[in-house]
Amino acid sequence: MINVVELFAGVGGFRLGLEKSSKKYNITLANQWEPSTKSQPAFDCYKKNFNSTDDEAINEDIADIIGLIPEHDLLVGGFPCQDYSVARTLAGEMGIEGHKGVLFFEIMKVINRTKPKFILLENVDRLLKSPSTQRGRDFSVMLASLQKQGYGIEWRVINAAEYGFAQRRRRVFIFAYREDTNFYKEQQKHNFQDIIHQKGFFAKEFPVKDEHNEKHPDKEFELPSNLLDVSDNFSAKYNNSGVIVNGVVYTAETLPVETTPTTLGEILEQAREFQGQVDEKYYLKNDKKNKKGRTEYEEMEYQKGAKKEKRVSKTGHEYYYTEGSMAFPERLDMPSRTMLTSEGTKNRSSHVVKDLDTSRLRFLTPIECELLNGFDPDWTNSGMPERTRYFCMGNALVVDLIEKMGNQIVDLYTKETTIYQEKNNEVQQMSIL
């Protein structure tokens, strides 16, 4: 069994993906806590779908339960992109600490305590660049922190639609492996290009072309050994793929070997099997008008349209607000755009589609949003308000990507245990001799 701890579990995208990949995954503990609300709909949904006991799924601030987290083989989690700068602690010359409430540092506390063999993290791709005033600082702090704890690291920005799935959702995945693993030792033998193209963690499930994007040259550099130095002075331009082994960072802008994507139209067809005729409440209304004198249909048409409007700022400054147009309705022969947490609030980025049966315009249903992320239909139908169902899907990930990564981790883990057993047998035979 591969014992897994899932942090920032949300409605369980990581767990679902891993469990779809193999029965070998055993999620020993999941943590999920929504700081901004008293009700905990994501946690309730998680518990209901996985039938978790109170010991297995904990609904508390991660900062309060670090000591409860048991040893495990694999740590997974999708966490927010925040300010990762560090400062010297007031107490000691040697001590360094991150800002309070920055969840990455809570993850690092878990790692320092439990030292899992493998770690798989997910974040928005903006993390590679932030903050804008010191490009790449946050990602550098993250890489340097993991490196300091004795991990090799590989990362890849993956757009789910490029590997066959139905959503153009681009996220960075970070895979870290302990330096005493067989996998780390193997990676040390390969050159960086080979790791990215053939031998590394992402290469098999997410193949890339031989050539790299020439606009972004490959780079090789070392991170400062002092974390404070990284935080205060270091900046770097990270490409969409990279690796750190033996203290050297190598980063390349890879091009995916694309698989034909699933289209939004195909998702609507799949959803039709479960939900039948779409309820009238999802259709754009043409009767009542809002304060601006627009019907819901007209409002969406306006929101999605190109704009060049004279506006006045709070300080009385006049300026032109401009934005381009968006597809209205969405194209059904393509994968969808990224689903945001605001999908359910009927704004410019909400998807509007032409219904397959009625040809009238409507918003996506929660089931369609679940299918766009690879969740089972009605996954979030666990008693939460409908708007929260959209929110949870905007927060979640494309489960199928985790399933693919899960296949790779099972392979790695099996090799680790086989080699460990072989070595153990050798030792036993030698002691008999």
The token pair that represents 130 in the structure block: 């932030």
Q: How far is CA 51 from CA 55, 64, 212, 379, in A?
A: 12, 23, 45, 13
The token pair that represents 330 in the structure block: 């969405």
Give the CB-nearest residue to ligand SAM.
10
- Closest distance to ligand SAM from the beta carbon of 362 (Å): 25
Residue 369 is among the residues annotated as catalytic for this protein: no
- Closest distance to ligand SAM from the beta carbon of 87 (Å): 20
Asked if 86 and 142 touch (Cβ cutoff 8 Å), the reply is: no
- Closest distance to ligand SAM from the beta carbon of 363 (Å): 21
Helix axes 103-114, 137-148, angle to 10 degrees: 10
- Closest distance to ligand SAM from the beta carbon of 339 (Å): 12
The token pair that represents 317 in the structure block: 């400054």
CA geometry: angle 83, 85, 89, nearest 5 deg: 130
Q: Which is nearer to ligand SAM, 62 or 267 (CB)?
A: 62
Q: Which is nearer to ligand SAM, 153 or 397 (CB)?
A: 397
- Closest distance to ligand SAM from the beta carbon of 337 (Å): 18
Q: Which is nearer to ligand SAM, 77 or 200 (CB)?
A: 77
Per-residue burial over 296-308, b if 16 or more Cβ lie within 10 Å, else e, is: bbebbeebbeeee
Report the run of H or E that residue 172 belongs to, with start and end. Answer: strand 170-178
- Closest distance to ligand SAM from the beta carbon of 370 (Å): 11
| Nearest to 11, CA basis, from 372, 373, 274, 268 | 373
Q: Which is nearer to ligand SAM, 45 or 203 (CB)?
A: 45
Q: Which is nearer to ligand SAM, 75 or 352 (CB)?
A: 75
Asked if 406 and 22 touch (Cβ cutoff 8 Å), the reply is: yes
CA atoms within a 13 Å half-sphere pointing along the CA-CB vector of 206: 31
- Closest distance to ligand SAM from the beta carbon of 212 (Å): 30
Q: How far is CA 407 from CA 236, 261, 418, in A?
A: 32, 20, 17
Q: CA 319, 324, 330, 332: dihedral to nearest 10 degrees?
A: -160
SS3 361: strand
Q: Which is nearer to ligand SAM, 103 or 176 (CB)?
A: 103
Catalytic residue among 45, 81, 369, 392: 81
- Closest distance to ligand SAM from the beta carbon of 165 (Å): 15
Asked if 348 and 304 touch (Cβ cutoff 8 Å), the reply is: yes
Q: Which is nearer to ligand SAM, 30 or 230 (CB)?
A: 30
Burial class of 207 by CB neighbour count within 10 A (0 to 12, 13 to 18, 19+): middle
- Identity of the amino acid at 377: P
d(CA 76, CA 209): 28
**Looking up tokens 């990455």, which residue turns up?**
104
**Looking up tokens 């032109």, which residue turns up?**
320
Where do contacts with ligand SAM occur on this chain (CB under 6 A)?
8, 10-14, 31-35, 42, 61-62, 78, 103, 395-397
**Looking up tokens 């802008």, which residue turns up?**
253
DSSP string of 76-95? Answer: EEE-------EEE-SS-SS-
- Closest distance to ligand SAM from the beta carbon of 61 (Å): 4
Q: Which is nearer to ligand SAM, 236 or 396 (CB)?
A: 396
d(CA 170, CA 150): 28
Q: Which is nearer to ligand SAM, 117 or 169 (CB)?
A: 169
Q: Is 251 left (phi over 0), alpha (psi -120 to 50) or beta?
A: beta
* Residues assigned a catalytic role: 81
